[in-house]
Amino acid sequence: MRLLIFSDTHGVRTPMKELYDRYPNDGIIHLGDYITDARWMRERTNGHPVYHVLGNCDYGEQGPEQQLLELGGVKILMMHGHRYGVKGGYLKAFYAAKEAGAQVLLFGHTHIPYIEQREGVLMINPGSLRNPDREYAILEIENEKAKGVLLQYHD
């Protein structure tokens, strides 16, 4: 199973669609800050799974602030991260993932790409497609194990 991971797109939509077309995938995860971009993707992918959470810039929008998914036998905690103070460190978000029994923690908010395996939890922040380096991530799940990679979008 391959999942495309985006966060903090802030209206940058075309690269998401081009990456969806480029990489065979089983779903898209959007970690907030312009949840409308996630909805835009859902409309253009004919019902393809698009999972999303609200970010701190999603004023007045409806949707979950975090989600615990189980995909391919792996529990994934999705959040934007602002409620856990990720700009000051990842410890609170990490403990939330541990408490939820998640093997993967996906978050955004900082616009800084990050990946680390810590005590059985794979933590990934894909960065932002709005940044000059236009970052995103791919999460691969196989045999109930997850691995991730940080990437940059190039036209």
CATH number for the domain harbouring residue 10: 3.60.21.10
Radius of gyration for the chain, computed over Cα atoms and rounded to the nearest angstrom: 14
- Max intra-chain CA distance, the chain: 40
Confidence at residue 87, expressed as pLDDT on a 0 to 100 scale: 97
Domains identified in the chain, total number? 1
Element (H, E) at 71: strand 66-71
Q: By residue range, what is the domain housing residue 70?
A: 2-152
Among 148, 143, 150, 145, which residue's Cα sits nearest to residue 103?
Answer: 145
Confidence at residue 47, expressed as pLDDT on a 0 to 100 scale: 84
Confidence at residue 112, expressed as pLDDT on a 0 to 100 scale: 97
81: left (phi over 0), alpha (psi -120 to 50) or beta: left
Angle at 43 between CA 41 and CA 49, to 5 degrees: 65
CA-to-CA distance for 114 and 76, rounded, in angstroms? Answer: 16
Residue 54 Cα to chain centre, angstroms: 11
CA-to-CA distance for 126 and 31, rounded, in angstroms? Answer: 9
Q: Cα dist. 10→30, 65, 143 in Å?
A: 11, 17, 34
pLDDT, tens digit only, all 155 positions of the chain? 999 999 999 999 999 999 999 999 999 999 999 999 999 999 999 889 999 999 999 999 999 999 999 999 999 999 999 999 999 999 999 999 999 999 999 999 999 999 999 999 999 999 999 999 999 999 999 999 999 999 999 87
Whole-prediction pTM value? 0.97
